[in-house]
Amino acid sequence: MNGTGQQQDQRLEQAILELLDGRAPTATICPSDAARAAYDGDDDGWRALMGPVRRAARRLVAAGEVEITQGGRPIDPGEVRGPIRIRRLH
């Protein structure tokens, strides 16, 4: 992976954690919230970051920082299909 890819990965992980830090301990965020926060533009280019944000969330799950939920319940990142939410591990 090149430096630019690593920088993007770090920026997306940071965006997820910063958004969660600004919410209640049990609150969740949508991956699109992080994509919008990390995107440098005012158009819909943030949509291209949706896959990378979901991968960033999986890395944060592996690091023990967050959990991915569906229907309000934690789900194994490898079994995710469809819309997800992200919340701090508590």
Q: Could you read off the pLDDT tens digit of each residue along the chain, which spans 90 residues?
A: 345 788 999 999 999 999 999 999 999 999 999 999 999 998 999 999 999 999 999 999 999 999 999 999 999 999 989 999 999 997
Residue 84: left if φ>0, alpha if ψ -120 to 50, beta else—which one? beta
How confident is the model at residue 5, as a pLDDT?
A: 85
**Scanning the structure block, which residue is given the tokens 């890395």?**
59
pTM (predicted TM-score): 0.91
CATH class of the domain at 3-65: mainly alpha
Domain boundaries, the chain: 3-65
Task: Please check whether residue 53 is in contact with residue 31, taking contact to mean a CB–CB distance below 8 angstroms.
Answer: yes
Taking each helix axis from N to C terminus, what angle separates 50-62 and 3-21, rounded to the nearest 10 degrees? Answer: 70
